[in-house]
Structure 1
């Protein structure tokens, strides 16, 4: 049954991804992009038939946040598009992802935030773009580990990157930590092979008020986030 479901997933996934990407590119406005992202996420999650346990009760749907989310696999993306649909959020991602044919162009059309890690001057402009995105009421979404975790079952969360803290502090919005568990069982790092019917846990933690922080406090913020998100991850794992 799982093999048949996986084959069905791929038969639908690729044409659906192209369809929603093209609609977002042609529409080139936030309404069409959000519609495409939300419905693509719902479709992919339905195709994969994961059993999602989601608790976002700590968050206010009317508030703009900087989301901080642990990162395990490609499947994080449709899950977040589906379950964080009440918020207009924008992924903060490395520049190379925006060069992908069709999907990368759809990310550009949706005003997701490209970060150039190789060019410091462009990187500063990218941070300013993230600030502008937040000021327009869109919530930047950062993966503070910086990349997908290859062994979340054994190692828990990876150390967070300081750059994500700097961006979050400059946006001057409350930080909303979101912890996800079990996604690697659906799709591991460096793999697009989807394993359906897996149990997923997603939990939003109480937002962090950063009004008393400055950029000089980035290491303090990093340590605080690592502690609260690491503890919550261990609780989800052992629940």
Structure 2
């Protein structure tokens, strides 16, 4: 209980501080510093027991990250553990409307996708391609939203596959087990001290797929991540 109290006493000032710095400085170096350190502080304050295996990844490589999505707690976890890759979230537009935090996301050039406007969505996809060309790693949640029942992964959406194939960079599947137990969808109280596992799978060479193969790519990626996720949950 004491750790939980400390977490919430510190969460809002820490989040506000790093968000305001990102908004005020408006450059990518400052934004990345804020994201990394905000993630580090939130993870530390949570007291969660975290095991991360990213040994399959090359710190010098630009990837398209494909990550399962369980909880709002995924965000600080990813900011901290994936910070060597200067990644950019590819996320729904509504997240960018959150006061302060959303402004910080915009300042850091994370990529919003307007799912209601096809023409605007195509321009947003091009932003992801441009980010990858500049050495940033777009990060996609292929399930499209937080999974309310993390016993298994939800069906992947084809939109994320289109972005990944257009970027033409190695695709790095990353799986997380435990964030849903730490902070379930629809809940506001973090269960401090939870056990969380993060594991990067072997990257996929996208050259074997074209945009016309996006459904096959989606099915192959889903099968690969489903199998690894089930193994992680049973270990």
Q: Same fold (TM over 0.5)?
A: yes
CA RMSD of aligned residues (A): 0.7
1:65 equivalent in structure 2 = 63
Q: Which residue of 2 aligns with 1:211?
A: 207
1:124 equivalenced with 2:122 (yes/no) = yes
- CA-CA distance at 1:207 after TM superposition: 0.4
Q: How many residues align?
A: 235
Match of 1:200 in 2: 196
> C-alpha separation between the residues in 1 aligned to 2:73 and 2:39?
9
Query: 1:225 aligned to 202, 207, 221, which one?
Result: 221
Q: Report deviation, 1:192.
A: 2.1
Partners of 1:102 and 1:42 lie apart in 2 by 19
Confirm or deny: 8 A CA contact 1:74 1:192 kept in the other structure.
Answer: no
When normalised by structure 1's length, the TM-score is 0.97
Note the 1:102-181 alignment, pairs <5 A: 102-153=100-151, 156-181=152-177
**Quick check: 1:131–1:171 contact (8 Å CA) kept in 2?**
yes
User: In 2, are the aligned partners of 1:76 and 1:183 still within 8 Å (CA)?
Assistant: yes
Q: Distance in 2 between matches of 1:224 and 1:192?
A: 35
Task: Name the SS for the 2:206 alignment partner.
Answer: coil
1:130-186 Cα shifts (integer Å, max 9, x gaps): 110000000000000000000103xx1000000000011011111000011011111
Cα shift at 1:8: 1.1
What is the SS of the residue equivalent to 1:179? strand
CA contact (8 A) 1:91 1:140 kept: yes
Aligned to 2:90: 92
Q: Judge which range, 68-77 or 185-194, deviates more.
A: 185-194
SS at match of 1:37: helix
Structure 1: give runs of 5+ residues left out of the alignment. none
Separation (CA, whole Å) in 1 of partners of 2:199 and 2:97: 32
Q: Distance in 1 between matches of 2:38 and 2:216?
A: 37
Q: Secondary structure at the match of 1:195?
A: coil
Moved beyond 4 Å, runs of 4+:
none
Structure 2 gap segments, 5+ residues each? none
Cα distance in 2, alignment partners of residues 147 and 212 from structure 1: 27
Residue 199 of structure 1: how far off its partner (Å): 0.7
SS of residue in 2 equivalent to 1:211: helix
In 1, distance between residues paired with 2:103 and 2:109? 10
TM-score, scaled relative to structure 2: 0.99
